Amino acid sequence: MSTVLVIGGGAAGCLAALTAAKAGAEVILWEKNDRIGRKLAITGKGRCNITNAAPVDELIRNITGNGRFMYSALAAFDNQAVMQLFEDLGVPLKVERGQRVFPVSDKAADVIIALEQALAAAGVHIVYNAVAAELLVNEGTVCGVVTADGQKQQADAVILATGGATYRGTGSTGDGYRLARSVGHNIIEPLPSLVPLVSPAAWVHTLSGLSLRNVELGIYKNGLISRKNCLGKLFGEMLFTHFGISGPMVLSLSRKAVLFWRDNPGEELLAAIDLKPALSEEQLLARLEREIAEAPRRHLHNMLAELLPKSLIEPFVALSGIAGDRPVSSLQGKERQAIVRLLKCLELPLSGARPLNEGIVTCGGVDVREVMPRTFASRKAPGLFIVGELLDIDAFTGGYNLQVAFSSGHAAGLAAAGV
């Protein structure tokens, strides 16, 4: 019977340990916290969006960082397999908007408890508060791990599942990068992904807490709004914060922004919000003309209350350069067109992203070219397997990142057990 040592009790590590144990290996799981699944507990706002029910090809498209690397792992253990696993473990599931899959209970704790019970039933020995200080290597082969106090744990295979470098309070402190680098792996610079963005514009900060729904957001380089300069554009929901912008669209677009700033330090990006994406400029101008005709004595402030959230009116008026107490009937043609253009293209500068620790996932990590895609075995050090967020693989929100963790953990677990 082979001995498999798994370092890290997150989604990838738990699946790796469970799979290896079911395949007949003796499995030891080291977790640096006093309980497994600390990051699982906060995913999906505490509801645990365990996967996405979309077809596999769509899963790949939403794994924006090295998604093609996951083809083999997803073919062997896809989203349907993940859903079946948790149903079998006594966690009923439901599919919500965007094909997101959650526990019926809406409790991430149920997912963690199910994994704890499954690991125990499979005979996995969990060691809590265990920190891996270095890998044991014999003639180029990884054969165990040394703890911080010098104790050695021998193993036939070691699976690194320590996570990335975001949400450090959950234990993802980048330990795995150091361990992988020690045996020759290249580490792509870890950067925050699915992260809020910072704007230096003072008016943006005054809107903290304002959520916009059914708007379109684009992010542009070179300060020019054009198809050529567009890094990405999405329709949906966003949020103003005390430092800039956040929300689903912003998080999804943030990866391209972060990579732009990595390659162009110090340069600003330009965000543009279409507040009325369902209407063309012509249609919006026609609506504006009707509003003016129906109540020509109203002030601009009052008319905009029909078009904008209350807290956005004052900043909008200031940006338009038109006095808010102007009777709308006095607005000249160019001024009316300027209001329409601002409704269709509200611009704000972006100067950077929030810190790495505030990203939902890490962009960067162990170079996937140094890992075998079917088994997640290291090409640099026999006996070592690398899974989950520690790899340079990341995806949009919606359950895709946890699917990467589960599929990679499953593949490594089988391979480490010799299956």
- The model's pLDDT over 154-176, given as tens digits with 9 standing for 90+, comes to 999 999 999 988 877 777 778 89
Q: Taking Cα atoms as reference points, which of 9, 3, 10 lies closest to residue 29?
A: 9
Give residue 159's pLDDT: 98
Q: How many CB atoms lie within 10 A of CB 301?
A: 16
Give residue 108's pLDDT: 96
% of the chain at pLDDT higher than 70: 100
φ/ψ of residue 138, rounded to 5: -125, 115
Counting every residue, how long is the chain? Answer: 419
Give residue 36's pLDDT: 95
- List 358's β-bridge partners, or say none: none
- Mean pLDDT, rounded, for 8-30: 97
The DSSP-derived string for 62-84 is: H-TBTGGGGHHHHHHS-HHHHHH
- In the numeric block, which tokens belong to residue 400? 């895709």
Q: How many CB atoms lie within 10 A of CB 149?
A: 7
Give residue 166's pLDDT: 82
Give residue 150's pLDDT: 86
Q: Is the pLDDT of residue 55 over 80?
A: yes
Give residue 202's pLDDT: 96
Give residue 151's pLDDT: 87
CA 292 to chain centre: 44
pLDDT band at 23, cuts 50/70/90? Answer: very high
Q: Taking Cα atoms as reference points, which of 351, 368, 327 lies closest to residue 187?
A: 368
Give residue 321's pLDDT: 94
Exposure string for 392-404, b = 16+ CB within 10 A, e = fewer: bbbbbbbbbbbbb
Cβ distance 387 to 29 under 8 Å? no
Q: Is the pLDDT of residue 287 over 90?
A: yes
pLDDT band at 278, cuts 50/70/90? Answer: very high
Report the distance separating Cα 249 and Cα 266, nearest Å: 23
Q: How many CB atoms lie within 10 A of CB 313?
A: 18
Residue type, 18: L
pLDDT band at 382, cuts 50/70/90? Answer: very high
Q: Is the pLDDT of residue 265 over 90?
A: yes
> What 3-state class would DSSP assign to 275?
coil
- List 361's β-bridge partners, or say none: 193
Report the distance separating Cα 145 and Cα 276, nearest Å: 57
Exposure string for 362-380, b = 16+ CB within 10 A, e = fewer: bbbbbbbebbbbebbbbeb
Q: Taking Cα atoms as reference points, which of 253, 252, 237, 333 lies closest to residue 285?
A: 333
Better-predicted residue by pLDDT, 90 or 165: 90
> What 3-state class would DSSP assign to 144?
strand
Q: Taking Cα atoms as reference points, which of 180, 234, 211, 129 lies closest to residue 388?
A: 180
- Mean pLDDT, rounded, for 306-332: 94
Q: Is the pLDDT of residue 45 over 90?
A: no
Report the distance separating Cα 412 and Cα 405, nearest Å: 11
Report the distance separating Cα 137 and Cα 186, nearest Å: 18
Residue type, 275: L
Q: What is the pLDDT of residues 112-160, one digit of tens each?
A: 999 999 999 999 999 999 999 999 999 999 999 998 888 899 999 999 9
Report the distance separating Cα 97 and Cα 412, nearest Å: 31
- Mean pLDDT, rounded, for 348-357: 95
Q: What is the pLDDT of residues 232-256, one digit of tens each?
A: 999 999 999 999 999 999 999 999 9
What sign does the dihedral 168-372-186-66 (CA atoms) show?
negative
- Domains in the chain (CATH in brackets) are 3-193+361-416 (3.50.50.60), 196-353 (no CATH)
% of the chain at pLDDT higher than 90: 91
Q: Is 290 exposed, middle or buried (0-12, 13-18, 19+ CB in 10 A)?
A: exposed
Give residue 381's pLDDT: 97
What sign does the dihedral 29-36-118-162 (CA atoms) show?
negative
Report the distance separating Cα 384 and Cα 295, nearest Å: 73
Q: List Cβ neighbours of 104 (8 Å cut-off, separation of 6 or more).
A: 92, 93, 94
Q: List Cβ neighbours of 91 (8 Å cut-off, separation of 6 or more).
A: 103, 105, 110, 111, 114
Average per-residue pLDDT for the chain? 95
Q: Is the pLDDT of residue 61 over 80?
A: yes
From residue 340, alpha-carbon distances to 289, 327, 337, 346 in Å are: 11, 17, 5, 10
- List 378's β-bridge partners, or say none: 371
